[in-house]
Structure 1
Amino acid sequence: MISASWQRSLAANVDPDLHTAPTVFAADELSDLRERHPLHPMLPLLRETLLGFAEEAGHIMVVADAQGHILWCEGSKGTRSYAENVGLAEGTLWSEGAAGTNGMGTALALNSPVTVHSAEHLVRTYHHWTCAASPIRDPDSGTTIGVVDLSGPIETVHPSMVALVSASARLAELEMLTRMHSQDEELRSRNMRHLIALRGEPGALLSQTGRVVAVEPYGLLPSRVDVSADRVELPDGREAVLEPLSDGYLLRIPRQRHVRRSVLSLSFLLPEPKVVLDGREVPISSRHAEILCALALHGRLTADQLALRLYGERGNPTTVRAELHRLRAQLGPDVLATRPYRLTADVEADFLAVRTALKAADVPLAASRYRGSLLRRSEAPVVLAERDDLATSVRKAVLQRGDGNALWAFTQTDSGEHDVEALEQLVKLLAPDDVRLALATARLRRLGQDD
């Protein structure tokens, strides 16, 4: 890592005998840059997690933008004075191309946490310094927006520096993600009326960066849309219209009037299955719900294939055909076609929506869509397999993500309410003043008593 950084720095003509990093911004220019930078609201959190350690250890906390311009430099007064002598000060540029191998510049170049100690610095002036830095990424775009660094004289080096800096960067990213979700919710609450006013016309609410925060029908759009023009060509070739809102956009996709398909909504993650056809609830038996589930999952199936999926090896195709005849009479031939059996309506299924969210790595959305086990009283092989796989996938995703809201949503379902590991992680993540902490702790205690 260090050798490659030196090569990049030398290729950029950095002089190893450089005495100070270049100053790019004067003091009177910094105020506006700081106010507009997305890390400005994160400064209180970074100060809380790093400044105490920095001052006690004789370090300074440095925060720079994605190009390596230092915007904030705080911490030990003595170390700050020492740092200014080598240009480690606000307004200077510490990219590898400007200052050679260093914590901030190399972390930005690699997009990864790094430690650069003493003579690992290319520039000899910095051989008396040690630094640990970690990039900070925007949870909306995924791009790196800055870097946080702890620097100090070599005699103050501490083995936990890089771990502490990395943890602080992740906390800042988590805080930005929480704020993003809050802004999304505010966008939905203010503007959902615009989506409803489309009266069945496909559409979506988008953030200012083009992220989809609400869409009807679900699955209509990718997770992000280009909002650089007032008209958008979607991946399927259709053209959508963008209308600006105060805090985002309304996207409309005019429906082609000559092609009207029925919309079949399947809510099978509820305690009781619910089927809605073109806005009208349809009474449904457990067996018919299993048939619809199999067709939604597998598309085109023969009576023999359906019999195997519904009854296993003992399945009888004649029995399945009779059930399909009754279901087709109830839903209509424009919804359930034959030879092979298939759904010809636009299907909106909650269990498929969870799958789509998981595939897009949108764990918070998957957890909020997952309301419980799939057709929880069914013993059909096709349902059992999908039920177990879906629950396992959601559980794995929320545990790996470590998102308190997603874990809370999962532990409120029949799949997660007795999950000790999920509850233990949830208790660790929730803030002390979060009302959900007491509920989760009490349930965890009851589960321990039951054992």
Structure 2
Amino acid sequence: MDSVRAARLLQGVRAAALSGQEPPVEPRPVIEQSWDRMLRSGVDPDHDFRAGLLALEDLEERRRTSQLHEIMPVLREGLVSIADAAQHIMVVADADGRVLWREGHSTVLRKADGHGFEPGADWRESTVGTNGVGTPLVVRRPVQVFSAEHFVRTHHSWTCAGSPVTDPRDGKLIGVVDISGPIDTMHPATLALVHSVTRLAEAELRTRHLAALDRLRTMALPVLSRLPGRALVVDENGWTAAVTGMPPVDRIALPKSLSSGRTWLASLGECAAEELPGGGWLLRPAPADPDAPDPQATTSVVLDLRSGRHSSVTLSGGAGSWAHDLSPRHAELLYLLATHPSGRTASGLAEDMFGDPARTVTVRAELSRVRRYLAGLLDHRPYRFREDADVEVLLPDDPRELLPHSTAPAVLRARQT
């Protein structure tokens, strides 16, 4: 089907969806779910709304402080020349949906200006509707939005393919890379290209991270050699650079905020934390004290899923409280465990998450990572929270907003309740 016929068909699908009628064909699930979010949030499907552009000094500050600037050479090399030759543009936006960079074919850049698709613009889904910048930021996976799949009618002459960027150092979403252009210039392989180049950019961040860990290790080894007992040096994201007196671990989950002094870490217990010059932390676990309060006693677990963008878990017990941001996958897993207090087998969790009970290897690998920061709070055979843990789940007011990035069958069912 050519692009003109496809655009006409999608216009009929969109019109039916907006009027509550039966569409000629079903929209793709990622588009249907986005349209549903737009209808609930009150985005106008027929009128283009534009939030104010960032002031130039604010835009430059965001560019300077964003991790995205570290990967711009990779993105330019992989995408800009192709975009220019194909009459497309490359757009790079931060995790707030603000366009930070925009490069490519000059004619298409001028057309983008007419859509408000310019540096400093706000292209969140909640502002401009379904699109190749805002929608990947919500669902946390690559998305192509073709013509009338855009919720707002004035964007129907446009096609976008966007892929989110995650910082491998802390697992956080830092932005999205998008290729956009007129509907008659977009190729079906564009999304795969954008996704591949985005993965190369993330690999560049990983390489930089390993180099930084090597530098921290060089500084840390003389410090550790003079210390008795157990100690380790980690970077600001908890990745281990050096260790002494204890088995090495890849990463220690750190709380949202850490300061020098006595602190409690879920995986190590009570520790002395000391910030090191140039970044990183020296952690010295305290010797076991039989008279100290049991860190697992009367433990409460609060799983906060109220925000569609950020999820966290907070632990409180005899040794204090500790909070940790969750990755999208770990938020899914902990939600499923919290809703099954009697426990789930690995195959049951695989069925809940993937609709495939055979994917137990993936489930077990993720749960082993979760157990690093939940320590003794998770039992296995079956997997569940410890019986004496008080588990509370904070959910969004609207069930349909539960973990919007998730495609897990069990989460999809929960959104319908």
Report the equivalent of 1:252.
Answer: 284
Query: 1:27 — aligned with what?
Result: 56
Match of 2:240 in 1: 212
Residue type at the aligned position of 2:236: Q
Point out where structure 1 has 5 or more consecutive residues left out of the alignment: 259-355, 362-451
Whole-Å separation in 2 of the counterparts to 1:257 and 1:4: 53
State how many pairs are aligned.
265
Most deviating of 206-215 and 76-85: 206-215
Residue 243 (str. 1) matches residue 243 (str. 2): no
Q: Which amino acid aligns with 1:16?
A: P
Partner residue in 2 for 1:277 = none
Provide closer, same or farther for how the CA distance between residues 30 and 251 of structure 1 changes in structure 2, counting only shifts above 3 A: same
Q: Secondary structure at the match of 1:195?
A: helix
Which is higher, the Rg of structure 1 or of structure 2? 1
Partner of 2:345: none
TM-score w.r.t. the length of structure 1 is 0.55
Alpha-carbon distance between aligned partners in 2 of 1:6 and 1:95, rounded to the nearest angstrom: 14
Aligned to 1:92: 121
Q: Deviations over 1:72-106 (max 9, x none)?
A: 11111110111011110111111110010001111
Where do 4+ consecutive residues of structure 1 move more than 6 Å?
A: none
In structure 2, do the counterparts of structure 1 residues 156 and 172 end up closer, same or farther at CA, with 3 Å as the change threshold?
same
Q: What is the alpha-carbon distance in structure 1 between the residues aligned to residue 48 and residue 65 of structure 2?
A: 31
**Counterparts of 1:94 and 1:218 in 2: how far apart (Å)?**
47
Cα gap change, 1:102/1:183 in structure 2, threshold over 3 Å: closer, same or farther? Answer: same
Q: Which amino acid aligns with 1:9?
A: M
Q: Given the superposition, is the C-alpha separation of residues 70 and 197 from structure 1 closer, same or farther in structure 2, using an over 3 Å criterion? A: same
State the partner residue of 1:41: 70
Deviation per residue, 1:7-47 (Å, 9 max, x gap): 11122221112235323412232111101000101101100
Q: Do the aligned residues in 1 keep the contact of 2:159 with 2:181 (CA within 8 Å)?
A: yes
> Is residue 59–residue 150 contact of structure 1 (8 Å, CA) maintained in 2?
yes
The CA RMSD measured in Å over matched residues stands at 2.6
Residues 162 and 191 in structure 2, CA contact (< 8 A), matched pair in contact too: yes
Q: Which amino acid aligns with 2:253?
A: R
Distance 2:231 2:366 in 1: 18
Q: Report the Cα offset of residue 151 of structure 1.
A: 0.2
Name the residue aligned to 1:416.
none
- Farther off after superposition, 24-33 or 215-224: 215-224
* Contact 1:195–1:204, Cα closer than 8 Å, also in 2: yes
- 1:269-348 to 2 correspondences below 5 Å: none
User: What corresponds to 2:210 in structure 1?
Assistant: 181
- After superposition, the Cα gap between the structure-2 partners of 1:224 and 1:257, relative to the gap in structure 1 and judged at 3 Å, is closer
Partners of 2:252 and 2:267 within 8 A in 1: no
Contact 1:20–1:87 (8 Å) recurs in 2: no
Tell me the residue number matched to 1:398: none
* 1:7 counterpart = 2:39: no
- With over 3 angstroms needed to count, the CA separation of the structure-2 counterparts of 1:11 and 1:68, relative to structure 1, is same
What's the TM-score once normalised by structure 2's chain length?
0.60
Q: CA deviation at 1:107?
A: 0.7
Contact 2:268 2:285 in 1 (8 A): no
- The 1:196–1:357 alpha-carbon spacing in structure 2 relative to 1, beyond 3 Å, is farther
What per-residue deviation string (whole Å, max 9, x for no partner) do you get for residues 236-283 of structure 1? 67310111112211111243599xxxxxxxxxxxxxxxxxxxxxxxxx
1:105 and 2:121 equivalent?
no
1:106/1:114 contact within 8 Å kept: yes
Partner in structure 2 of residue 202 of structure 1: 230
Are 1:228 and 2:258 counterparts? yes
- 1:357 CA drift (Å): 12
Provide the residue aligned with 1:389 in structure 2.
Answer: none
In structure 2, relative to structure 1, the CA distance for the partners of 1:236 and 1:108 (3 Å cut) is: closer
Answer yes or no: is the 8 Å Cα contact 2:259–2:275 preserved in 1. Answer: no
Q: Which residue is 2:309 aligned to?
A: none
Q: Distance in 1 between matches of 2:71 and 2:206?
A: 12
Task: Give yes or no for contact 1:240–1:253 (8 Å, CA) kept in 2.
Answer: yes
Which of residues 108, 112, 123 is equivalent to 1:79?
108
Measured in 1, the distance between the counterparts of 2:267 and 2:67 equals 34
Cα distance change on mapping 1:88 and 1:162 into 2, 3 Å: same
Alignment of structure 1 residues 145-156 onto 2, 5 Å: 145-156=174-185
- Please say if residues 165 and 175 of structure 2, whose CA atoms lie closer than 8 Å, have aligned partners that are also in contact: yes
Q: Which residue of 2 is the match for residue 289 of structure 1?
A: none
Give 1:121 deviation, angstroms. 0.4
How many percent identity over aligned positions?
40
Indicate the larger mover: 82-91 or 233-242. Answer: 233-242
Paired residue secondary structure (1:241): strand
Q: Is the 8 Å Cα contact of residues 100 and 122 (structure 1) preserved in structure 2? A: yes
CA distance in 1, matches of 2:86, 2:251: 48
Task: Report how far residue 220 of structure 1 moved.
Answer: 6.9
- 2:96 maps to 67
Per the alignment, residue 45 of structure 2 pairs with: 16
Query: Residue 150 of structure 1: SS of its match in structure 2?
Result: strand
Unaligned runs of 5+ in 2: 1-29, 291-364, 371-417
> Can you list the C-alpha shifts for 1:337-369, whole angstroms capped at 9, x where unaligned?
xxxxxxxxxxxxxxxxxxx999659xxxxxxxx
